[in-house]
């Protein structure tokens, strides 16, 4: 049987979409990364590995590397213990108000860690910190109780705001796990302790490890906390050293070189961590999804129920409420260092920042407009790219799949550095010192979020739905418009907010790219603090918190409602 089919055009719709998708990823993500690698390995007109080693052997860079690894390890271990413990507590025990507590443990996600670090600096800096002063003034302590400007201070603050990564993963695994896996151990004669040790923990171990690696990845490349708490005492990690070098030497060759070499180390370790995570997840993705849903058994805490509840509440109070309160109170002070009395507190700073102070007004405007533009652009680009990766069968898709992995393994400071290399006029376009360069960097930075949300949504749309539309006579465009887009709308919605909200508090990328008139909220908070304007910095941080928390609440309402309806 032979049917006369229409000759396929050389470049069809599919080809155009594929080309566009590849182009976007190349221009925004791959090109800057390649420039970094090129600058790192290509010196004096040749491929030069010796020089790379030399750069890494400089005491400052070597120390920064060690610091990044040390802080990341400490943070990871701490967060894993805290996250797993709380996850177990809210899923597998009869802790009172479990669901409410589960929600509370997610709040640290909303608090940008550099704002947290700022708060802890106010509370625990060796001389001026409120807690240290309190103990020295009233209890006659000779020394400050705790110096936040230290490795342990940095780790503690990072743990406070990063542990939800593990918490979420482990909660999910414990909730999804088939209860009969534990019940069959129980009917085999094992008690709860044995079951937890021999069955439950081994089964959720992949989730625990995957959350831990996420924290490792984040902490290695984390700028804010180390910048606020470390630089004071000469503690640099990779991102802060990159920033320091680029910032101080205004783009000298040596600085760029150190920067690109360090960035390469970050990219490589990020890629390694992501590879390891994929390996653990694919090997350990046990099929532990429940058939029948009977509730899993709960450990009866008995006498410990309320003490543990109080412990959880105290933890939240100490790590969330106290720092937030300090931010708002310091933001209300006339001058930093005054006691918190009624006559010293007012809303004047907040008014000044919102209506009169040009720096902060600009910063808020910049962040909102940058966030909106980046979210819209990245959302649409993400849908298109995910569509090609998940749904289309075209030649050359492999390239796109590889490129699509890239955004996940490129940390913010690397993107910033790459964007500087790419868009400072060397290649015909100079965006340096304008908001556009920040926008370009945001798009690269948040592409991963958009790809993740959109491909998850697209995977839910079964191929047969699209095929049914084609069988009904719809063209590819029509089936996209009438079937696919309406079905992936929730994913796009999610992508938009996953980008818009974090971009409002972005620091790592913006700090490397800002010019005097293009400060973002994060940059303004950070630089005000650096300049000793602690009170203004705190007030702006307070306003940022209000915006973030309001946004987050509105969204969880909206998405909660749309998920139900």
Partner 1 sequence: MSHVRLVNVTKRFGAVTAVDNLNFTLEKGECFSMLGPSGCGKTTTLRMVAGFEDLDDGEVYVGDRLLSSPAKNYYLPPEKRDFGMVFQAFAVWPHLSVYENVAFPLRIRKVASTEVKRRVSDALGATNLLEAANKSPDDLSGGGKQRVALARALAINPDVMLLDEPLSSLDPHLREEMRFEIKALQRQFGFCIIYVTHDQSEAMALSDRILVMRGGVAQQIDTPLNVYNSPANQFVFSFIGLSNFLEVRGEGGAYRLAGGDALPAGLAPPPEFAGNARLSLASRPAEIEFDDAPDAAAALRGTVVRKSYLGEIIDYLVRLGDQTIRVQKVRHSPGPEQGANCALRLLRPTWYVCADGE
Write out the DSSP string of 85-97: HHHHHHHHB--TT
Report, in Å, the least distance between residue 178 CB and partner 1: 6
* Residue 26, phi-psi category: left (phi > 0), alpha (psi -120 to 50), beta (remainder): alpha
Report, in Å, the least distance between residue 294 CB and partner 1: 7
Cβ distance to partner 1 smaller for residue 57 or 292: 292
Report, in Å, the least distance between residue 281 CB and partner 1: 14
Report, in Å, the least distance between residue 94 CB and partner 1: 14
Helix then strand count (H, E) for the chain reads 28, 2
Cβ distance to partner 1 smaller for residue 50 or 187: 187
Cβ distance to partner 1 smaller for residue 187 or 563: 187
Please give the residue ranges that form the binding site for partner 1 (CB under 8 A). 178, 180-181, 183-191, 194, 198-199, 202-203, 205, 286-288, 290-292, 294, 297
Cβ distance to partner 1 smaller for residue 56 or 290: 290
- Contact status, residue 240 vs residue 226, Cβ threshold 8 Å: yes
- Contact status, residue 217 vs residue 278, Cβ threshold 8 Å: no
CA-based radius of gyration for the chain: 26
Cβ distance to partner 1 smaller for residue 183 or 362: 183
**Cβ contacts of 123-129, under 8 Å, gap ≥ 24:** 123/148, 123/322, 123/323, 123/326, 124/148, 124/153, 125/149, 128/336, 128/337
Q: Which residues contact 315 (CB under 8 A, 6 or more apart)?
A: none
Cβ distance to partner 1 smaller for residue 297 or 472: 297
Write out the DSSP string of 217-237: HHHHT--HHHHHHTGGGT---
- With vertex at residue 80, the alpha carbon angle to CA 77 and CA 84, rounded to the nearest 5 degrees, is 150
Report, in Å, the least distance between residue 30 CB and partner 1: 37
Report, in Å, the least distance between residue 191 CB and partner 1: 6
Cβ distance to partner 1 smaller for residue 284 or 490: 284
Report, in Å, the least distance between residue 209 CB and partner 1: 13
Report, in Å, the least distance between residue 84 CB and partner 1: 17
| 180 alpha-carbon distance from chain centroid | 35
Cβ distance to partner 1 smaller for residue 10 or 193: 193
| 234 alpha-carbon distance from chain centroid | 25
Q: Which residues contact 237 (CB under 8 A, 6 or more apart)?
A: 64, 67, 68, 71, 220, 222, 226, 230
DSSP, res 461: S
| Residue 150 backbone phi and psi in degrees, to 5 | -150, 170
Report, in Å, the least distance between residue 214 CB and partner 1: 22
Helical H segments across 250-299, by residue range: 253-284
Cβ distance to partner 1 smaller for residue 158 or 178: 178
Cβ distance to partner 1 smaller for residue 49 or 201: 201
Report, in Å, the least distance between residue 301 CB and partner 1: 16
Cβ distance to partner 1 smaller for residue 248 or 287: 287
Closest CA to 110 of 162, 168, 159: 162
Cβ distance to partner 1 smaller for residue 94 or 463: 94
Which helix or strand (DSSP H or E) is residue 162 part of?
Answer: helix 151-162
Report, in Å, the least distance between residue 57 CB and partner 1: 43
Neighbours of 564 (CB within 10 A): 6
Report, in Å, the least distance between residue 169 CB and partner 1: 17
Report, in Å, the least distance between residue 305 CB and partner 1: 19
Cβ distance to partner 1 smaller for residue 32 or 206: 206
Q: How far apart are CA 208 and CA 81, in angstroms?
A: 10
CA distances from 311 to 11, 86, 304, 537 (A): 64, 11, 10, 31
CA distances from 259 to 39, 63, 244, 408 (A): 9, 14, 9, 20
Copy the structure tokens of residue 530: 């650096």
- Contact status, residue 418 vs residue 539, Cβ threshold 8 Å: no
For the chain, report the end-to-end CA distance as a whole number of angstroms: 49
């Amino acid at each position: 049987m032979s049917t006369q089919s229409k000759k396929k055009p050389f470049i069809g719709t599919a080809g155009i979409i594929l080309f566009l998708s590849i182009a976007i990823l190349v221009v925004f993500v791959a090109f800057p990364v390649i420039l970094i690698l090129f600058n790192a390995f290509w010196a004096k007109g040749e491929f030069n590995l010796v020089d790379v080693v030399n750069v890494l052997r400089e005491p400052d860079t070597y120390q920064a590397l060690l610091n990044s690894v040390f802080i990341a390890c400490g943070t990871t271990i701490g967060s894993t213990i805290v996250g797993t413990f709380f996850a177990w507590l809210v899923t597998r025990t009869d802790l009172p108000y479990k669901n409410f507590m589960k929600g509370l443990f997610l709040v640290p996600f909303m608090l940008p860690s550099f704002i947290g670090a700022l708060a802890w600096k106010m509370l625990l800096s060796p001389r001026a910190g409120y807690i240290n002063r309190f103990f020295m003034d009233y209890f006659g302590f000779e020394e400050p109780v705790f110096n936040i400007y230290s490795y342990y201070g940095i780790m503690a603050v990072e743990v406070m705001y990063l542990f939800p990564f593990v918490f979420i993963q482990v909660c999910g695994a414990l909730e999804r796990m088939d209860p009969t896996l534990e019940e069959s151990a129980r009917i085999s004669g094992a008690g709860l302790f044995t079951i937890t040790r021999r069955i439950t923990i081994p089964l959720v171990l992949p989730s625990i490890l995957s959350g831990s690696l996420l924290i490792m990845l984040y902490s290695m490349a984390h700028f804010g906390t180390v910048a606020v708490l470390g630089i004071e005492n000469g503690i640099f990690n990779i991102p802060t050293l990159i920033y320091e070098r680029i910032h101080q030497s205004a783009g000298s060759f040596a600085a760029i070189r150190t920067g690109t070499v360090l960035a390469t180390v970050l990219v490589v370790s990020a890629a390694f961590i992501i590879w390891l995570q994929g390996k653990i997840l694919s090997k350990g993705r046990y099929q532990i999804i429940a058939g029948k849903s009977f509730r899993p058994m709960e450990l009866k805490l008995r006498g410990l129920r309320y003490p543990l509840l109080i412990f959880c509440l105290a933890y939240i109070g100490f790590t969330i409420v106290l720092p937030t309160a300090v931010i708002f109170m310091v933001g209300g002070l006339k001058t930093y260092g005054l006691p918190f009395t009624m006559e010293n507190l007012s809303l004047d700073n907040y008014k000044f920042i919102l209506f009169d102070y040009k720096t902060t007004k600009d910063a808020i405007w910049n962040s909102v407009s940058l966030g909106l533009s980046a979210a819209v652009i990245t959302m649409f680009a993400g849908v298109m790219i995910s569509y090609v990766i998940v749904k289309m069968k075209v030649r050359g898709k492999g390239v796109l799949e590889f490129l699509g992995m890239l955004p996940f393994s490129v940390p913010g400071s690397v993107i910033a550095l790459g964007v500087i290399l790419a868009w400072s006029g060397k290649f015909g376009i100079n965006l340096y010192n304008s908001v556009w360069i920040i926008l370009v960097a945001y798009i690269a930075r948040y592409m991963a979020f958009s790809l993740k949300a959109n491909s998850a949504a697209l995977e839910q749309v079964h191929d047969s739905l699209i095929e049914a539309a084609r069988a009904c006579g719809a063209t590819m465009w029509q089936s996209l418009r009438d079937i696919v887009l309406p079905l992936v709308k929730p994913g796009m919605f999610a992508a938009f907010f996953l980008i818009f909200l974090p971009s409002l508090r972005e620091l790592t990328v913006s700090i490397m790219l800002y010019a005097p008139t293009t400060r973002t909220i994060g940059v303004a908070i950070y630089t005000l603090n650096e300049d000793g304007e602690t009170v203004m910095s705190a007030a702006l941080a307070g306003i940022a918190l209000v915006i973030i928390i309001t946004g987050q609440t509105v969204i969880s309402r909206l998405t909660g409602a749309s998920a139900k309806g």
